[in-house]
Structure 1
Amino acid sequence: MDACFSRRSLLVAGGAGLGALTLAACGGSPVPEVDGVAPGGRIVALADVPVGGVYELSVDGHRVVLAQPTAGTVVGFDATCTHQGCTVRATEGGPLACPCHGSEFDPVTGEVLQGPAVRPLAPFAVTVSGADVVLA
């Protein structure tokens, strides 16, 4: 059986494949979502944010990364890359990485470690209250 494809069917198939790859690169795995959080409201249990690691979530539809550099100290950042607005993701034991153009950010300070981004990630105000991370 001969497999003949028209130019149109090849372009459609190629475009669909490229679209799927793009979504896979930028989408990643689902993250927990928290809605309706007011200042002082609980975002997540402190125990869910690994010491020396990063925790990704969505707060009122806005992607955020939290880090606990030392036990009991949590910092938060807007997960929007300052280069062109892609969503940065945590890497295993490393920086926050933008899958679109390769920018990397320090998970504790939000500072740029590698461009093309030149501005740090915007802070996301959080604090620790007892056993919870709350919106500051």
Structure 2
Amino acid sequence: MSLSQPTPGRRQFLTTVGSLAVAGLSIPVLAACGGGGADIASGSFPSVNAETMSAIAAAVQKGEPAVGEAKFFPDAHIVLTQPTEGSFVALSSTCTHEGVTINRFSDGQLVCPAHGSRFDPATGEATRGPAQAALPKRTVSKTGNTVTLS
């Protein structure tokens, strides 16, 4: 007795291949959003070149940003805040959840546009997830006309 399996037709073959391709593409896309709260291992403050340092110093000399506000330096991935009068903080603007650039300040918080993580502008601490790690931070000091990050 001879058992033969039917040969799949062209339509069935293309449907199967198409389904596999979609499944293969969908898994990485879904995995990107399902980080399970695992924070990226950034932990480092962006390097600051002379141009960025000059821009930060000019802002601080002018008292910018205003108390309780934020000033973004998008090319440098840095956000400058003034939590209290005369006290400035520089934070990395790279979200610790998935590395998206934070570009929004709303209701007194730094907000990641990707998944809505929120950060305290004075400390960089994550106040709402999915991010759980704080933004890397540098204290900004002003002595006369000299501004430094430490």
Residue 123 of structure 1 pairs with residue 142 of structure 2? no
**Structure in which a larger fraction of residues adopt helix:** 2
Cα shift at 1:109: 0.7
Cα gap change, 1:50 to 1:69, in 2 (>3 Å): same
Cα gap change, 1:54 to 1:131, in 2 (>3 Å): farther
The percentage of aligned residue pairs carrying the same residue is 39
Scaled by the length of structure 1, what TM-score is found? 0.62
Residue 73 of structure 1 pairs with residue 87 of structure 2? yes
Scaled by the length of structure 2, what TM-score is found? 0.56
Cα gap change, 1:71 to 1:86, in 2 (>3 Å): same
Q: In the aligned structure 2, how far is the partner of 1:112 from the partner of 1:38?
A: 25
| Higher mean C-alpha deviation, range 122-131 or range 44-53 | 122-131
RMSD: 2.6
Q: In the aligned structure 2, how far is the partner of 1:38 from the partner of 1:88?
A: 17
Residue 56 of structure 1 pairs with residue 109 of structure 2? no
Cα deviation, 1:4-62, whole Å, max 9, x if unaligned, reads xxxxxxxxxxxxxxxxxxxxxxxxxxxxxx952598x662332222112111114xx42
Q: What is aligned with 1:113?
A: 127
**Structure in which a larger fraction of residues adopt strand:** 1
Which residues of structure 1 form unaligned runs of 5+?
1-33
Which residues of structure 2 form unaligned runs of 5+?
1-47
Cα gap change, 1:84 to 1:38, in 2 (>3 Å): closer
Q: In the aligned structure 2, how far is the partner of 1:132 from the partner of 1:90?
A: 28
> Paired residues, what number?
100
